[in-house]
Amino acid sequence: MKVTIKYFAAIREAIGQGIEVRETLAVNLSALRDELLAASPAHADSLARGRSVRMALNQVMSDESATLTEGCEVAFFPPVTGG
């Protein structure tokens, strides 16, 4: 299926792009993250499991068990620091 992936803040800078569209067989966020870890050294570093990475599925904060659907929007970003 096709998914749109967005990156923000330090993760966006490290990966060098704010958005990418991917064909994936990943069923959930966890599997997609695994797939992205193999995509490039920058992905591997900034999305590494040891790092504090938050995720959203269709613009709602989600954990790695969240199930992907055709055309969904996924985002990876650092802990938020607004206010």
Partner 1 sequence: MNTRVSIQTEDFNLADEISALRKNDQRVGAVCSFIGTVRDHNVAPTLGTDVSSLPPEGAELARGGPSLRSSAQQGEVLSMELEHYPGMTEKAIEAMIDEACARFDIFAARVIHRVGLLQPLDQVVMVAVTSAHRGESFKACEFLMDYLKTQAPFWKKEQTPEGARWVDARSSDDAALAKWGIQAANG
Which of residues 18 and 24 has its CB atom nearest to partner 1 in the complex?
A: 18
CB of 52 to partner 1, least distance (A): 6
Position 39 contacts partner 1 (CB under 8 A): no
Would you call 61 exposed, middle or buried from its count of C-beta atoms within 10 A (0-12, 13-18, 19+)? exposed
Which residues make Cβ contacts (< 8 Å) with residue 50, sequence separation at least 6?
Answer: none
Position 48 contacts partner 1 (CB under 8 A): no
Which stretches of the chain bind partner 1, using CB under 8 A? 6, 8-10, 52, 54, 56, 59-61, 75, 77-83
